[in-house]
Structure 1
Amino acid sequence: MTTTFATASTAVSARATAVLAAACALVLGAAVPSSAINSYNATPAPERTEVGALVATWDHDDDPATPDRVDWVCSGTMIDTDTFLTAAHCTSDWPANVRFFVSLDQDVQGALDRAAERHPGDPAAVARAVAVPGTAHNHPAYPGPASDTHDIAVVEVPADRLAARWAFTPAALPKAGALSALGPQGLRETPFTVAGYGTQEARRGPGGHTHPGGGVRMKAPVTYDALNDAWLRLAMTAPQGNGGACYGDSGGPNFATLGGRRTLVATTVTGDSPCYATNVTYRLDSPGARAFLSPFTKLP
Protein backbone atom coordinates (compact mmCIF):
# COMPACT_ATOMS: atom_id res chain seq x y z
CA MET A 1 0.00 0.00 0.00
CA THR A 2 1.30 3.46 -0.84
CA THR A 3 0.19 6.91 0.21
CA THR A 4 1.30 10.46 -0.42
CA PHE A 5 3.58 11.79 2.28
CA ALA A 6 1.71 15.04 2.97
CA THR A 7 0.27 15.73 6.38
CA ALA A 8 -1.83 17.96 8.59
CA SER A 9 -1.42 18.00 12.36
CA THR A 10 -4.06 17.17 14.95
CA ALA A 11 -4.55 20.89 15.44
CA VAL A 12 -6.21 21.03 12.04
CA SER A 13 -8.03 17.70 12.01
CA ALA A 14 -11.23 19.41 10.82
CA ARG A 15 -9.67 20.21 7.46
CA ALA A 16 -12.05 19.62 4.56
CA THR A 17 -12.61 15.95 3.72
CA ALA A 18 -11.94 16.48 0.04
CA VAL A 19 -8.55 17.98 0.80
CA LEU A 20 -7.60 15.12 3.07
CA ALA A 21 -8.69 12.52 0.57
CA ALA A 22 -6.75 14.09 -2.25
CA ALA A 23 -3.51 15.05 -0.59
CA CYS A 24 -3.10 14.27 3.08
CA ALA A 25 -2.88 11.53 5.66
CA LEU A 26 -3.90 12.79 9.08
CA VAL A 27 -1.31 12.49 11.85
CA LEU A 28 -2.88 11.31 15.10
CA GLY A 29 0.13 11.15 17.42
CA ALA A 30 0.93 14.46 19.10
CA ALA A 31 1.88 13.98 22.76
CA VAL A 32 5.54 13.23 22.09
CA PRO A 33 8.60 15.40 21.42
CA SER A 34 8.64 16.68 17.87
CA SER A 35 10.87 14.87 15.42
CA ALA A 36 11.05 14.35 11.69
CA ILE A 37 11.97 11.57 9.28
CA ASN A 38 11.92 8.06 10.76
CA SER A 39 13.21 7.77 14.31
CA TYR A 40 15.90 5.23 13.37
CA ASN A 41 19.27 6.24 11.88
CA ALA A 42 18.16 9.90 11.68
CA THR A 43 19.76 13.09 12.97
CA PRO A 44 18.81 16.78 13.12
CA ALA A 45 19.72 18.82 10.05
CA PRO A 46 20.32 22.42 11.18
CA GLU A 47 22.96 22.79 8.46
CA ARG A 48 20.46 22.09 5.67
CA THR A 49 19.22 25.66 5.67
CA GLU A 50 17.96 25.38 2.08
CA VAL A 51 15.37 22.82 3.22
CA GLY A 52 12.11 24.35 4.40
CA ALA A 53 8.52 23.72 5.38
CA LEU A 54 5.40 24.64 3.41
CA VAL A 55 2.95 26.46 5.68
CA ALA A 56 -0.70 27.05 4.75
CA THR A 57 -3.62 29.09 6.01
CA TRP A 58 -7.18 28.26 5.00
CA ASP A 59 -10.81 28.48 6.07
CA HIS A 60 -13.58 25.91 6.33
CA ASP A 61 -16.30 27.65 8.37
CA ASP A 62 -19.10 29.97 7.25
CA ASP A 63 -16.84 33.01 6.98
CA PRO A 64 -14.38 32.39 4.13
CA ALA A 65 -13.17 35.99 4.23
CA THR A 66 -10.66 35.18 6.97
CA PRO A 67 -8.60 32.02 7.55
CA ASP A 68 -9.24 29.98 10.66
CA ARG A 69 -6.54 27.33 10.22
CA VAL A 70 -2.76 27.47 9.95
CA ASP A 71 -0.23 24.64 9.90
CA TRP A 72 2.87 23.34 8.18
CA VAL A 73 1.80 20.73 5.63
CA CYS A 74 4.81 19.56 3.58
CA SER A 75 8.53 19.92 3.07
CA GLY A 76 10.53 21.42 0.21
CA THR A 77 13.80 23.01 -0.90
CA MET A 78 14.99 26.39 -2.11
CA ILE A 79 16.48 25.86 -5.59
CA ASP A 80 17.35 29.51 -6.13
CA THR A 81 16.86 32.73 -4.20
CA ASP A 82 13.09 32.90 -4.76
CA THR A 83 11.93 29.40 -5.81
CA PHE A 84 10.81 26.75 -3.32
CA LEU A 85 10.44 23.27 -4.82
CA THR A 86 7.80 20.92 -3.42
CA ALA A 87 5.16 18.38 -4.55
CA ALA A 88 2.01 19.22 -6.48
CA HIS A 89 -0.18 17.16 -4.15
CA CYS A 90 0.93 19.54 -1.38
CA THR A 91 -0.51 22.58 -3.17
CA SER A 92 -3.60 21.01 -4.77
CA ASP A 93 -7.24 20.44 -3.74
CA TRP A 94 -7.36 23.09 -1.04
CA PRO A 95 -10.20 25.51 -0.30
CA ALA A 96 -10.19 28.48 -2.66
CA ASN A 97 -8.88 30.87 -0.01
CA VAL A 98 -5.73 28.88 0.84
CA ARG A 99 -2.54 30.91 1.15
CA PHE A 100 0.92 29.37 1.09
CA PHE A 101 4.03 30.42 3.00
CA VAL A 102 7.60 29.14 3.20
CA SER A 103 9.59 28.77 6.43
CA LEU A 104 13.25 27.80 6.69
CA ASP A 105 13.16 27.42 10.48
CA GLN A 106 14.81 24.32 11.90
CA ASP A 107 11.81 23.81 14.23
CA VAL A 108 8.77 25.09 12.36
CA GLN A 109 6.31 23.44 14.75
CA GLY A 110 7.90 25.17 17.71
CA ALA A 111 7.80 28.48 15.83
CA LEU A 112 4.10 27.99 15.06
CA ASP A 113 3.34 27.16 18.69
CA ARG A 114 5.11 30.29 19.94
CA ALA A 115 3.46 32.49 17.31
CA ALA A 116 0.03 31.09 18.22
CA GLU A 117 0.57 32.20 21.81
CA ARG A 118 1.44 35.72 20.63
CA HIS A 119 -1.41 35.91 18.09
CA PRO A 120 -4.32 33.90 19.54
CA GLY A 121 -7.17 33.43 17.08
CA ASP A 122 -5.26 35.02 14.18
CA PRO A 123 -3.90 32.31 11.84
CA ALA A 124 -2.79 34.86 9.25
CA ALA A 125 -0.62 36.64 11.80
CA VAL A 126 0.80 33.32 12.95
CA ALA A 127 1.77 32.43 9.38
CA ARG A 128 3.40 35.81 8.78
CA ALA A 129 5.35 35.47 12.03
CA VAL A 130 6.98 32.19 11.03
CA ALA A 131 7.10 32.23 7.22
CA VAL A 132 7.19 34.28 4.02
CA PRO A 133 4.14 34.31 1.70
CA GLY A 134 4.43 32.86 -1.79
CA THR A 135 2.55 31.89 -4.94
CA ALA A 136 2.23 28.23 -5.89
CA HIS A 137 2.55 26.87 -9.43
CA ASN A 138 1.70 23.21 -10.09
CA HIS A 139 2.76 21.14 -13.06
CA PRO A 140 -0.10 21.73 -15.55
CA ALA A 141 -0.43 17.99 -16.22
CA TYR A 142 -0.82 17.00 -12.55
CA PRO A 143 -2.24 14.50 -11.72
CA GLY A 144 -0.88 12.37 -14.51
CA PRO A 145 -0.75 8.59 -14.97
CA ALA A 146 1.08 6.33 -12.53
CA SER A 147 4.07 6.18 -14.84
CA ASP A 148 4.53 9.94 -14.37
CA THR A 149 2.07 11.75 -12.12
CA HIS A 150 3.81 15.11 -12.68
CA ASP A 151 3.70 15.54 -8.91
CA ILE A 152 5.91 18.61 -8.80
CA ALA A 153 5.27 22.23 -7.87
CA VAL A 154 7.10 25.41 -6.97
CA VAL A 155 6.23 28.27 -4.65
CA GLU A 156 7.67 31.62 -5.70
CA VAL A 157 8.58 33.82 -2.74
CA PRO A 158 10.01 37.37 -2.49
CA ALA A 159 13.79 36.86 -2.43
CA ASP A 160 14.45 39.96 -0.34
CA ARG A 161 11.97 38.98 2.38
CA LEU A 162 13.33 35.46 2.56
CA ALA A 163 16.96 36.61 2.68
CA ALA A 164 16.11 39.09 5.45
CA ARG A 165 15.06 36.19 7.70
CA TRP A 166 17.27 33.24 6.74
CA ALA A 167 20.69 32.66 5.25
CA PHE A 168 20.88 29.72 2.85
CA THR A 169 22.61 28.43 -0.25
CA PRO A 170 20.13 27.10 -2.84
CA ALA A 171 20.34 23.40 -3.64
CA ALA A 172 22.14 22.33 -6.81
CA LEU A 173 19.96 20.55 -9.38
CA PRO A 174 21.15 17.60 -11.50
CA LYS A 175 22.07 17.63 -15.16
CA ALA A 176 19.69 15.97 -17.60
CA GLY A 177 19.78 12.19 -17.22
CA ALA A 178 22.31 12.33 -14.37
CA LEU A 179 20.85 9.34 -12.53
CA SER A 180 20.51 7.21 -15.66
CA ALA A 181 24.15 7.95 -16.52
CA LEU A 182 25.30 6.35 -13.28
CA GLY A 183 23.89 2.93 -14.20
CA PRO A 184 22.77 0.35 -11.63
CA GLN A 185 26.21 -0.18 -10.11
CA GLY A 186 26.90 3.53 -9.86
CA LEU A 187 23.54 4.13 -8.22
CA ARG A 188 24.21 1.39 -5.66
CA GLU A 189 27.52 3.05 -4.79
CA THR A 190 26.06 6.58 -4.55
CA PRO A 191 25.32 8.04 -1.09
CA PHE A 192 21.75 9.37 -0.78
CA THR A 193 20.24 11.50 1.99
CA VAL A 194 16.57 12.32 2.57
CA ALA A 195 15.56 15.41 4.54
CA GLY A 196 12.31 16.94 5.72
CA TYR A 197 10.00 17.86 8.56
CA GLY A 198 7.82 14.74 8.55
CA THR A 199 6.63 12.36 11.21
CA GLN A 200 8.09 9.10 12.47
CA GLU A 201 7.30 5.58 11.35
CA ALA A 202 4.08 3.92 12.49
CA ARG A 203 3.71 2.98 16.14
CA ARG A 204 1.07 0.56 17.31
CA GLY A 205 -1.07 1.65 20.25
CA PRO A 206 -4.49 1.06 21.79
CA GLY A 207 -6.15 3.07 19.05
CA GLY A 208 -4.14 1.54 16.20
CA HIS A 209 -1.20 2.98 14.29
CA THR A 210 -0.08 6.55 14.91
CA HIS A 211 2.76 8.59 13.41
CA PRO A 212 4.23 10.75 16.20
CA GLY A 213 6.40 13.82 15.93
CA GLY A 214 6.90 16.11 12.98
CA GLY A 215 7.79 19.74 12.45
CA VAL A 216 11.57 19.61 12.98
CA ARG A 217 14.04 19.41 10.08
CA MET A 218 15.85 16.06 10.10
CA LYS A 219 17.93 13.96 7.70
CA ALA A 220 18.65 10.27 7.23
CA PRO A 221 20.68 8.05 4.91
CA VAL A 222 18.84 6.03 2.26
CA THR A 223 20.12 3.68 -0.43
CA TYR A 224 19.28 2.96 -4.06
CA ASP A 225 16.52 0.49 -4.80
CA ALA A 226 15.21 1.08 -8.34
CA LEU A 227 15.08 3.64 -11.15
CA ASN A 228 12.23 4.33 -13.59
CA ASP A 229 11.70 7.06 -16.17
CA ALA A 230 10.06 9.39 -13.62
CA TRP A 231 10.80 7.70 -10.30
CA LEU A 232 13.75 6.95 -8.06
CA ARG A 233 12.96 4.41 -5.35
CA LEU A 234 15.11 4.54 -2.24
CA ALA A 235 15.34 1.87 0.45
CA MET A 236 14.81 3.05 4.02
CA THR A 237 15.08 -0.22 5.96
CA ALA A 238 16.74 0.03 9.36
CA PRO A 239 18.95 -3.11 9.24
CA GLN A 240 20.85 -1.64 6.27
CA GLY A 241 21.60 1.53 8.25
CA ASN A 242 18.94 3.55 6.44
CA GLY A 243 16.39 6.00 7.74
CA GLY A 244 13.55 7.28 5.62
CA ALA A 245 10.69 9.66 4.85
CA CYS A 246 7.19 9.70 6.29
CA TYR A 247 4.08 11.92 6.43
CA GLY A 248 4.99 15.60 6.07
CA ASP A 249 8.14 14.85 4.06
CA SER A 250 6.28 15.19 0.75
CA GLY A 251 8.04 17.62 -1.54
CA GLY A 252 11.21 17.38 0.50
CA PRO A 253 14.66 16.74 -0.92
CA ASN A 254 16.57 13.58 -1.65
CA PHE A 255 20.23 14.48 -2.10
CA ALA A 256 22.96 12.48 -3.79
CA THR A 257 26.66 13.12 -4.04
CA LEU A 258 27.38 13.44 -7.77
CA GLY A 259 30.90 14.28 -8.87
CA GLY A 260 31.73 15.26 -5.31
CA ARG A 261 28.84 17.76 -5.12
CA ARG A 262 25.69 17.52 -3.02
CA THR A 263 22.88 17.50 -5.58
CA LEU A 264 19.10 17.58 -5.17
CA VAL A 265 18.17 14.66 -7.43
CA ALA A 266 14.58 13.88 -6.42
CA THR A 267 11.67 14.97 -4.24
CA THR A 268 9.70 12.75 -1.87
CA VAL A 269 6.21 11.87 -3.12
CA THR A 270 4.97 8.58 -1.70
CA GLY A 271 5.89 5.30 -0.03
CA ASP A 272 4.55 2.49 2.12
CA SER A 273 1.94 3.65 4.64
CA PRO A 274 3.82 2.53 7.82
CA CYS A 275 6.94 4.40 6.57
CA TYR A 276 9.34 1.48 6.99
CA ALA A 277 10.38 0.28 3.54
CA THR A 278 10.56 2.51 0.45
CA ASN A 279 10.66 6.21 -0.35
CA VAL A 280 9.28 6.79 -3.85
CA THR A 281 10.74 10.04 -5.17
CA TYR A 282 10.20 12.15 -8.28
CA ARG A 283 13.31 12.46 -10.46
CA LEU A 284 14.54 15.98 -11.19
CA ASP A 285 16.86 14.91 -14.01
CA SER A 286 13.96 13.70 -16.18
CA PRO A 287 12.76 15.62 -19.25
CA GLY A 288 9.34 16.26 -17.72
CA ALA A 289 10.68 17.70 -14.47
CA ARG A 290 13.23 19.84 -16.28
CA ALA A 291 10.64 21.20 -18.70
CA PHE A 292 8.46 22.24 -15.78
CA LEU A 293 11.32 23.83 -13.81
CA SER A 294 12.98 25.71 -16.67
CA PRO A 295 10.71 28.79 -16.54
CA PHE A 296 11.36 29.19 -12.81
CA THR A 297 15.08 28.52 -12.35
CA LYS A 298 18.32 28.06 -14.25
CA LEU A 299 19.06 24.41 -14.98
CA PRO A 300 22.52 22.85 -15.37
Structure 2
Amino acid sequence: MKYTVGIAMTPLHELTALAQTAEECGFTSIALPDSLFYMQTQSADYPYTPDGSRMWNEETPWVDPLIAAAAMGAVTTRIEFYTQVLKLGSRNPVLLARQVGSVAALTGNRFGFGVGIGWAPEEFEWCGVPYAKRGKRVDEMIEVIKSILGGGMVEHHGEFYDFDKLQMSPAPTKPVPFYVGGHTDVALRRAARVGDGWTSAMIKFDDLVSVIARLKELRAEYGKADEPYEIQTVCIDRFGKDGYAELEEAGVTDIITVPWIFDGIGFDGPLEAKKDSMRKFAEIYIH
Protein backbone atom coordinates (compact mmCIF):
# COMPACT_ATOMS: atom_id res chain seq x y z
CA MET A 1 0.00 0.00 0.00
CA LYS A 2 1.13 3.52 -0.80
CA TYR A 3 0.44 6.41 1.54
CA THR A 4 0.13 9.96 0.25
CA VAL A 5 -0.05 13.18 2.27
CA GLY A 6 -2.77 15.61 1.25
CA ILE A 7 -1.79 19.25 1.69
CA ALA A 8 -5.02 21.05 0.73
CA MET A 9 -5.61 24.37 2.52
CA THR A 10 -2.16 24.31 4.13
CA PRO A 11 -0.32 27.63 4.62
CA LEU A 12 2.09 28.03 1.72
CA HIS A 13 5.19 28.71 3.81
CA GLU A 14 4.89 25.22 5.34
CA LEU A 15 4.86 23.23 2.11
CA THR A 16 8.57 22.62 1.58
CA ALA A 17 9.13 21.60 5.21
CA LEU A 18 6.15 19.23 5.10
CA ALA A 19 7.49 17.69 1.88
CA GLN A 20 10.87 17.06 3.47
CA THR A 21 9.31 15.46 6.55
CA ALA A 22 6.95 13.33 4.43
CA GLU A 23 9.95 12.04 2.50
CA GLU A 24 11.87 11.28 5.69
CA CYS A 25 8.86 9.36 7.03
CA GLY A 26 8.52 7.15 3.97
CA PHE A 27 5.34 8.52 2.41
CA THR A 28 5.18 7.76 -1.30
CA SER A 29 3.67 10.97 -2.57
CA ILE A 30 2.13 14.34 -1.86
CA ALA A 31 -1.29 15.13 -3.32
CA LEU A 32 -1.57 18.67 -4.64
CA PRO A 33 -5.02 20.32 -4.72
CA ASP A 34 -6.22 22.91 -7.20
CA SER A 35 -8.47 25.94 -6.81
CA LEU A 36 -8.22 28.99 -9.05
CA PHE A 37 -10.14 31.51 -6.98
CA TYR A 38 -13.02 31.93 -4.53
CA MET A 39 -16.11 33.45 -6.12
CA GLN A 40 -18.31 35.33 -3.71
CA THR A 41 -21.46 33.68 -5.07
CA GLN A 42 -21.38 30.20 -6.58
CA SER A 43 -23.81 29.34 -9.37
CA ALA A 44 -23.42 25.56 -9.00
CA ASP A 45 -23.29 23.20 -6.03
CA TYR A 46 -19.94 21.83 -4.96
CA PRO A 47 -20.44 18.12 -5.79
CA TYR A 48 -18.63 16.55 -2.83
CA THR A 49 -20.49 17.91 0.19
CA PRO A 50 -24.05 16.96 1.21
CA ASP A 51 -25.41 20.51 0.93
CA GLY A 52 -23.29 21.68 -2.03
CA SER A 53 -21.35 24.23 0.00
CA ARG A 54 -17.60 24.70 -0.21
CA MET A 55 -15.32 23.57 2.64
CA TRP A 56 -13.17 26.69 2.40
CA ASN A 57 -13.65 30.46 2.31
CA GLU A 58 -12.12 33.46 0.59
CA GLU A 59 -9.14 33.53 2.98
CA THR A 60 -8.20 29.85 2.59
CA PRO A 61 -4.68 29.55 1.14
CA TRP A 62 -4.15 27.83 -2.23
CA VAL A 63 -1.14 27.58 -4.50
CA ASP A 64 -0.85 26.57 -8.13
CA PRO A 65 -0.13 22.83 -7.83
CA LEU A 66 2.47 22.75 -10.60
CA ILE A 67 4.46 25.53 -8.96
CA ALA A 68 4.10 23.75 -5.61
CA ALA A 69 5.44 20.50 -7.13
CA ALA A 70 8.49 22.31 -8.50
CA ALA A 71 9.17 24.03 -5.17
CA MET A 72 8.81 20.86 -3.10
CA GLY A 73 10.71 18.83 -5.66
CA ALA A 74 13.68 21.17 -5.29
CA VAL A 75 14.09 20.31 -1.59
CA THR A 76 13.49 16.54 -1.87
CA THR A 77 15.01 13.63 -3.80
CA ARG A 78 12.61 10.67 -3.65
CA ILE A 79 9.03 11.58 -2.81
CA GLU A 80 6.62 11.97 -5.72
CA PHE A 81 3.91 14.54 -6.40
CA TYR A 82 0.60 14.42 -8.20
CA THR A 83 -2.22 16.87 -8.74
CA GLN A 84 -5.40 15.75 -7.06
CA VAL A 85 -6.86 17.05 -9.25
CA LEU A 86 -6.00 19.89 -11.59
CA LYS A 87 -9.11 21.33 -13.25
CA LEU A 88 -8.40 21.05 -16.94
CA GLY A 89 -11.53 22.64 -18.32
CA SER A 90 -10.62 26.27 -17.65
CA ARG A 91 -7.04 26.02 -18.96
CA ASN A 92 -5.15 25.83 -22.25
CA PRO A 93 -3.66 22.41 -23.09
CA VAL A 94 -0.63 23.68 -24.99
CA LEU A 95 0.44 25.89 -22.09
CA LEU A 96 -0.28 23.06 -19.67
CA ALA A 97 1.92 20.69 -21.67
CA ARG A 98 4.79 23.16 -21.26
CA GLN A 99 4.18 23.38 -17.51
CA VAL A 100 3.75 19.65 -16.92
CA GLY A 101 6.85 18.84 -18.96
CA SER A 102 8.83 21.40 -16.99
CA VAL A 103 7.76 19.94 -13.64
CA ALA A 104 8.57 16.42 -14.82
CA ALA A 105 12.05 17.55 -15.85
CA LEU A 106 12.74 19.58 -12.71
CA THR A 107 11.63 16.78 -10.36
CA GLY A 108 13.35 13.94 -12.22
CA ASN A 109 10.08 12.31 -13.32
CA ARG A 110 8.56 12.47 -9.85
CA PHE A 111 5.31 13.98 -11.06
CA GLY A 112 1.91 12.49 -11.88
CA PHE A 113 -0.85 14.47 -13.55
CA GLY A 114 -4.19 14.05 -11.82
CA VAL A 115 -6.90 15.71 -13.89
CA GLY A 116 -10.57 16.56 -13.71
CA ILE A 117 -12.97 18.83 -15.53
CA GLY A 118 -13.88 21.38 -12.87
CA TRP A 119 -17.27 21.96 -11.26
CA ALA A 120 -17.73 25.76 -11.22
CA PRO A 121 -19.05 27.60 -14.29
CA GLU A 122 -17.29 30.76 -13.09
CA GLU A 123 -13.87 29.12 -13.39
CA PHE A 124 -14.56 28.45 -17.05
CA GLU A 125 -16.28 31.68 -18.07
CA TRP A 126 -14.00 34.05 -16.15
CA CYS A 127 -10.95 32.36 -17.67
CA GLY A 128 -12.37 32.81 -21.16
CA VAL A 129 -13.54 29.23 -21.75
CA PRO A 130 -17.18 28.21 -22.31
CA TYR A 131 -18.76 25.88 -19.77
CA ALA A 132 -20.68 24.09 -22.51
CA LYS A 133 -19.13 20.96 -24.04
CA ARG A 134 -16.59 20.84 -21.22
CA GLY A 135 -16.39 17.05 -21.16
CA LYS A 136 -15.62 16.71 -24.86
CA ARG A 137 -13.13 19.56 -24.59
CA VAL A 138 -11.28 17.92 -21.70
CA ASP A 139 -11.09 14.66 -23.63
CA GLU A 140 -9.38 16.52 -26.45
CA MET A 141 -7.14 18.40 -24.00
CA ILE A 142 -5.82 15.12 -22.60
CA GLU A 143 -5.08 13.95 -26.13
CA VAL A 144 -3.21 17.19 -26.90
CA ILE A 145 -1.14 17.16 -23.70
CA LYS A 146 -0.17 13.51 -24.04
CA SER A 147 0.83 14.05 -27.67
CA ILE A 148 3.08 17.00 -26.88
CA LEU A 149 4.66 15.33 -23.84
CA GLY A 150 5.47 12.32 -26.00
CA GLY A 151 8.20 14.37 -27.67
CA GLY A 152 9.14 15.18 -31.21
CA MET A 153 7.20 17.22 -33.74
CA VAL A 154 3.44 16.91 -33.30
CA GLU A 155 0.39 18.55 -34.78
CA HIS A 156 -3.27 18.49 -33.83
CA HIS A 157 -6.42 19.34 -35.74
CA GLY A 158 -9.47 18.76 -33.60
CA GLU A 159 -12.86 20.19 -32.75
CA PHE A 160 -11.55 22.58 -30.09
CA TYR A 161 -7.79 22.88 -30.68
CA ASP A 162 -5.85 23.25 -33.88
CA PHE A 163 -2.11 23.68 -34.43
CA ASP A 164 0.53 22.74 -36.97
CA LYS A 165 3.77 20.95 -36.15
CA LEU A 166 5.47 21.99 -32.94
CA GLN A 167 7.91 20.51 -30.45
CA MET A 168 8.54 21.17 -26.77
CA SER A 169 11.94 20.23 -25.39
CA PRO A 170 12.99 18.57 -23.29
CA ALA A 171 10.28 15.95 -23.40
CA PRO A 172 9.89 13.87 -20.22
CA THR A 173 12.33 10.96 -20.28
CA LYS A 174 9.53 8.63 -19.25
CA PRO A 175 5.75 8.99 -19.63
CA VAL A 176 3.97 11.24 -17.14
CA PRO A 177 1.19 9.14 -15.56
CA PHE A 178 -2.32 10.54 -15.91
CA TYR A 179 -4.77 9.98 -13.05
CA VAL A 180 -8.36 10.87 -13.83
CA GLY A 181 -10.83 12.09 -11.22
CA GLY A 182 -14.61 12.16 -11.09
CA HIS A 183 -17.35 9.90 -9.71
CA THR A 184 -19.90 9.98 -12.55
CA ASP A 185 -20.09 7.18 -15.08
CA VAL A 186 -18.75 9.39 -17.87
CA ALA A 187 -15.79 10.31 -15.66
CA LEU A 188 -15.14 6.66 -14.85
CA ARG A 189 -15.21 5.85 -18.55
CA ARG A 190 -12.63 8.56 -19.13
CA ALA A 191 -10.49 7.19 -16.30
CA ALA A 192 -10.65 3.66 -17.69
CA ARG A 193 -10.02 4.74 -21.26
CA VAL A 194 -7.14 7.23 -20.97
CA GLY A 195 -5.94 7.08 -17.36
CA ASP A 196 -3.13 5.26 -15.61
CA GLY A 197 -5.33 5.37 -12.54
CA TRP A 198 -8.42 6.84 -10.93
CA THR A 199 -8.32 9.34 -8.09
CA SER A 200 -11.26 10.03 -5.79
CA ALA A 201 -12.69 12.98 -3.98
CA MET A 202 -14.09 12.25 -0.53
CA ILE A 203 -15.98 8.97 -0.75
CA LYS A 204 -17.56 6.36 1.52
CA PHE A 205 -16.32 2.78 1.45
CA ASP A 206 -19.44 1.18 -0.03
CA ASP A 207 -19.49 3.73 -2.85
CA LEU A 208 -15.77 3.18 -3.40
CA VAL A 209 -16.27 -0.58 -3.79
CA SER A 210 -18.92 0.07 -6.44
CA VAL A 211 -16.62 2.48 -8.30
CA ILE A 212 -13.73 0.01 -8.32
CA ALA A 213 -16.00 -2.72 -9.67
CA ARG A 214 -17.23 -0.41 -12.41
CA LEU A 215 -13.68 0.59 -13.33
CA LYS A 216 -12.76 -3.08 -13.68
CA GLU A 217 -15.68 -3.60 -16.04
CA LEU A 218 -14.76 -0.57 -18.12
CA ARG A 219 -11.07 -1.39 -18.31
CA ALA A 220 -11.96 -4.85 -19.56
CA GLU A 221 -14.26 -3.25 -22.11
CA TYR A 222 -11.38 -1.07 -23.35
CA GLY A 223 -8.94 -3.99 -23.41
CA LYS A 224 -6.86 -2.67 -20.50
CA ALA A 225 -7.69 -5.15 -17.77
CA ASP A 226 -4.12 -6.47 -17.52
CA GLU A 227 -2.36 -3.09 -17.42
CA PRO A 228 -1.14 -1.61 -14.10
CA TYR A 229 -3.67 0.77 -12.62
CA GLU A 230 -3.68 3.04 -9.56
CA ILE A 231 -6.66 3.55 -7.26
CA GLN A 232 -6.01 6.65 -5.16
CA THR A 233 -8.65 7.42 -2.57
CA VAL A 234 -9.81 9.74 0.19
CA CYS A 235 -12.11 7.31 2.01
CA ILE A 236 -14.01 9.04 4.82
CA ASP A 237 -15.25 6.01 6.78
CA ARG A 238 -12.34 3.56 6.92
CA PHE A 239 -9.34 4.31 9.13
CA GLY A 240 -6.72 2.54 11.21
CA LYS A 241 -5.03 -0.76 10.48
CA ASP A 242 -8.27 -2.65 9.99
CA GLY A 243 -9.77 0.07 7.83
CA TYR A 244 -6.70 0.39 5.64
CA ALA A 245 -6.59 -3.41 5.27
CA GLU A 246 -10.19 -3.28 4.03
CA LEU A 247 -9.25 -0.62 1.50
CA GLU A 248 -6.34 -2.68 0.24
CA GLU A 249 -8.54 -5.76 -0.05
CA ALA A 250 -11.03 -3.70 -2.06
CA GLY A 251 -8.34 -2.77 -4.57
CA VAL A 252 -7.06 0.59 -3.32
CA THR A 253 -3.37 1.11 -4.08
CA ASP A 254 -2.83 4.57 -2.57
CA ILE A 255 -4.45 6.04 0.56
CA ILE A 256 -4.50 9.84 0.68
CA THR A 257 -4.38 11.03 4.26
CA VAL A 258 -3.87 14.19 6.32
CA PRO A 259 -2.21 12.77 9.46
CA TRP A 260 -2.52 15.88 11.60
CA ILE A 261 -6.30 15.95 11.23
CA PHE A 262 -6.45 12.65 13.16
CA ASP A 263 -4.61 14.38 15.98
CA GLY A 264 -7.04 17.29 16.13
CA ILE A 265 -4.63 19.73 14.50
CA GLY A 266 -6.30 22.13 12.11
CA PHE A 267 -5.06 23.20 8.71
CA ASP A 268 -3.55 26.31 10.29
CA GLY A 269 -2.09 24.45 13.27
CA PRO A 270 1.60 24.57 14.27
CA LEU A 271 4.03 23.22 11.68
CA GLU A 272 6.00 21.16 14.19
CA ALA A 273 2.81 19.47 15.39
CA LYS A 274 1.96 18.51 11.81
CA LYS A 275 5.42 17.06 11.32
CA ASP A 276 5.07 15.05 14.54
CA SER A 277 1.72 13.72 13.32
CA MET A 278 3.32 12.49 10.10
CA ARG A 279 6.06 10.75 12.07
CA LYS A 280 3.52 9.06 14.33
CA PHE A 281 1.39 7.97 11.35
CA ALA A 282 4.42 6.57 9.58
CA GLU A 283 5.55 4.63 12.64
CA ILE A 284 2.17 2.93 12.89
CA TYR A 285 1.26 2.33 9.25
CA ILE A 286 4.33 2.62 7.02
CA HIS A 287 7.31 1.22 8.91
TM (norm. structure 1) is: 0.22
Higher relative contact order (CA 8 A, sep 6+): 1
Which has the larger strand fraction? 1
TM (norm. structure 2) is: 0.23
